[in-house]
Structure 1
């Protein structure tokens, strides 16, 4: 068996490349035809029912506005009910006929059953389920100061998407509807300081790709993969317990900003109504996949070079409201955050401190 595998190790890679070279023109032609077809024959979302989790800010909020412009009925789900009320009014002004808001925790199956059942009771159907719940972090794994945060990161990024899908799936089958997933390029591109986030997103993408095969077209699945997106978090905000809004400031040499979240939201909704299986923003990230498969050492060398030139950086926190605004406790911020429902793409610019400042930043 060892000899057989050794022979295949030498034969299969070059043979596969040759086959790909010959099949590439045909595949490109088929994909082009599909794009042309879906460009003209898009799903009419007018008056259909769309459930959006993590709708209180960021990607979830902007996706709600894009569906509202297409006159879809919306069910907005998040933990911050007060925040949802303002979004509901905005969505109505943009054209949504009916907008329901529901405070719920997507990590609880009973909460998911509640908001799906209430949706069915009011509208009688579910056509699209949009899962935008996500939680990012930027810390070196070995420097994490409390392992109790690890399950929280995995739960929010994975189970926070799976539970709503599990509950809504029978109704999506009835309507031959669609599931939209908020993924990230980190599911296959290894980036420093994002080990648990990357692992959770990899599990999420593999789950939905497998589910797509199991459903066999009965329910469509659109996996949206983003790179660096500008949201509330890239403006320096996140929520801690008791709803106190905090700001952080960072001592560093380089300032950067993410891509507009509105552009990503438009791309997602456009892909969903066209029936696209995948949507990527920005698409140039895909070039790194070639390095990941054929030259993984290049990525490793690149990251090592970048890390070697980073130097020492520190992060400090400034309270802007609530009982935590004065002399905030680092341990309190890090260890007792609420479950955050908003769709925060990963923050790649938050720093890891080498002092007593917490090294884990839970981002909403």
Structure 2
């Protein structure tokens, strides 16, 4: 048993360092691409979001909360939306956004998986502010699939992650057309590299990417769509145990040691910097772009590595 333990640890370490080596080897290509992107962005004027109206879903915590703060620092007016939960912090987030510089903040409780509630909060935002400039589709859940759990328990994943972005987008488009607005969609690196046990979460994020890549051709150049493919960001999503009425699996407790993560505040600053430059795709942390290439060239290594990040409950 002791020899098996040593062998498993050796294989884990070997797989980890091979992955790190591959990221290092692909770094020159990424550096060149980032350099080209940076040079191109220098010729684009920075959008000033001061006094502009921004609607953010899933704004009570995580990326949505820090996006609200970052927009507030730049003087944007905010409409914050979140599901009503006993521990919701949405009102506190609104107060903090005002303190950081937002001239006007409203907040609403709504379920993004309900088409009528999405219609309501988009209409109420426009009624209050008279316009809409940015729609940030951020609301999402990260329940991870296990074959031992009733498959029907995962219906909310697609309802919230996919339709919860599509519904508000549908109602916001006419208003965004009038302001040459922007849609920011919080997808995930999981929608590209498909980690094991990600099942429905991966599918919901891949569906988001596919939908908005197609939609951009229909609304461009009037509306700019920015798709976010984020890796591990230090929010509740990588620390809490996921459950839908008791269903779900969770991440290893030592995930930060196995895979570098990024703090939410610098992540959202980088996102908004990119959005204001007109970026159509943003990946943070940036080195995660290397995993897209590794996913294509070394799928076996990718699967082995991610399988260690997403153990089943019985292995904990």
Assess same fold via TM > 0.5.
yes
Distance 1:240 1:306 in 2: 22
Matches within 5 A, 1:1-364: 31-38=37-44, 41-80=45-84, 83-140=89-146, 142-143=147-148, 145-236=149-240, 254=254, 256=256, 258-293=261-296, 295=297, 298-304=298-304, 307=307, 348=309, 351-354=311-314
Of 66-75 and 189-198, the range deviating more from structure 2 = 189-198
Larger radius of gyration: 1
Residue 252 (structure 1) shift: 6.4
SS in 2 for 1:37: coil
Given that 1:49 and 1:75 are in contact with CA atoms closer than 8 Å, whether structure 2 keeps it comes out as yes
Residue 354 (structure 1) shift: 3.4
| Structure 1 residue ranges without an equivalent (≥5) | 1-25, 311-347, 358-364
| Structure 2 residue ranges without an equivalent (≥5) | 1-31
**Residues 209 and 65 of structure 1, relative CA distance in 2, 3 Å threshold:** same
- Give the structure-2-normalised TM-score: 0.80
Distance 2:243 2:198 in 1: 20
Distance 1:180 1:31 in 2: 19
Divergent runs of 4+, >3 A: 26-33, 233-241, 248-255, 304-307
Residue 80 (structure 1) shift: 2.9
SS in 1 for 2:314: coil
Distance 2:46 2:140 in 1: 28
- Give the structure-1-normalised TM-score: 0.70
Cα deviation digits, residues 200-239 of structure 1 (max 9, x gap): 1111001001110111211011111111111124343668
**Residues 128 and 285 of structure 1, relative CA distance in 2, 3 Å threshold:** same
Distance 1:193 1:205 in 2: 19
How many residue pairs were aligned?
280
Structure number with the bigger relative contact order (C-alpha 8 A, sep ≥ 6) is 1
Distance 1:249 1:197 in 2: 12
